Amino acid sequence: MSDNQPTFSAESYFRTQPSPPNLEHDLTGVRNFVSRQIAENRKVVLVTSGGTTVPLEHNVVRFLDNFSAGTRGATSAEYFLEHGYAVIFMHRQFSLQPFSRHYSHSTNPFLDFLEIQSNPKDGESPSETIAIQPATVPHLLPILAKYRAVQQSGALHTLTFVTVNDYLFLLRGVSQELSRLGRDVMYYLAAAVSDFFLPTQRMSEHKIQSGKGTLNIEMDQVPKILKPLVDEWTPEGFIVSFKLETDPSILLSKAEAALERYGHQVVIGNDLNRRKFEVVLVARESVLKSIDSTNWTEIEGETGPDKFVQNWLRLREGKTEIEEDIVNELIRYHEGWGRMGKASRN
């Protein structure tokens, strides 16, 4: 790689950057999980969630990060589980997780719904124990019941990443394991992955010292990983990627450009300020062949052979989470995707 050509290809990225130390261990866990799901005839979705970091130093003190609490991924994972999918939940360490997300440190801190009770027993010295405040039970009980049911069914497998490098190596490895599932796998790539990284060869060994004026950071582009994912690692997978923009006027064109460039199935477009109650699904029309697609409309101005279509989802009255509808819709398309595969084999 010459200095004049700073952009890494996926191939040169994986050749020159170090693989994370626990990668093989993580992939063995995925392999076993996938085998069990195949035996139980479950479809699998890989949900990625949370932001990735870009360390500026080998001994990491400072890093570039992407804003993401992991709400979309953790919430969606619950709905996929409810619909019978097995879920590989690949998330940023400490980001929100399915079920426990309802009780974070700030929303409903759990110490606040516990109470100390004195337990005087006949003939024994009084002792204290802990009870759940009764007012909490109606909200917590169904969540706990679902959590326990998922633990028993073995339908949830969790992986963690921190850096963008962890993420890229994990995604490649996991998708290669998942390719065994053919069309029975969905990729729901909700993680907020950095577009830039600092090659390990240019990283500072120790903490960058201040006191020397301004800080200058020059980062390379992260390779476009969707391309090899679609073309090589999991050619039959149903792949849903996400676009988050702060400028709504470029959201649709960015989504179309991604579909055109990578050839996958669906892009979910989010405007940063509206993403909790409105998203747009964008797809190539050919992907919708075998489903009822009456709620999709053509994107204005698109008339070529590879027409783009859009489907706006808005939070329905009485609902609290738009992820319920996103997941419902995607599962319909995934079924269609499976039928298309069967049709093309016949």
Q: What would you report as the CA-atom Rg of the chain, rounded to the nearest whole angstrom?
A: 23
295 belongs to the binding site for its own copies (CB under 8 A): no
Q: Is 346 exposed, middle or buried (0-12, 13-18, 19+ CB in 10 A)?
A: exposed
Longest dimension (CA), the chain: 85
Query: CA-CA distances (angstroms) from residue 195 to 206, 263, 268, 269, 321?
Result: 24, 19, 17, 17, 28
Q: Does the footprint of its own copies cover residue 147 (CB under 8 A)?
A: yes
Q: Does the protein bind its own copies through residue 82 (CB under 8 A)?
A: no
- Report the nearest approach of its own copies to the CB of residue 94 (Å): 6
Nearer to its own copies by C-beta: 185 or 226? 226
In this complex, which beta carbon is closest to its own copies, that of residue 104 or of residue 290?
Answer: 104
| Residue 136 CB, nearest approach to its own copies (Å) | 8
Q: Is 218 in the site for its own copies (CB under 8 A)?
A: yes
Query: Of 11, 40, 61, 306, which one interacts with its own copies (CB under 8 A)?
Result: 61
User: Any contact of residue 104 with its own copies (CB under 8 A)?
Assistant: yes
Give 302: exposed, middle or buried? Use CB within 10 Å, 0-12, 13-18, 19+: middle
**Chosen residue from 4, 41, 216, 346 binding its own copies by CB under 8 A:** 216
- The interface region with its own copies, picked from 187-195, 225-233, 278-286, 311-319 by CB under 8 A, is 187-195
- Binding positions for its own copies, 303-332, rule CB under 8 A: none
Q: What's phi and psi for 66, nearest 5 deg?
A: -115, 135
Cα(208)–Cα(64) distance, integer angstroms: 14
For residue 211, the minimal CB distance to its own copies (Å) is 8
Separation of alpha carbons 169 and 23, rounded Å: 8
Number of residues that bind its own copies (CB under 8 A): 68
Cα separation values, 145 from 22, 97, 103, 264, 321, Å: 32, 16, 15, 36, 20
Residues that bind its own copies (CB under 8 A): 6-7, 53, 57, 59-67, 69, 93-94, 96-97, 99-100, 103-106, 109-111, 114, 116, 128-132, 136-137, 140-141, 143-145, 147-148, 192, 194-196, 205-207, 210-211, 213-222, 244-247, 272-273
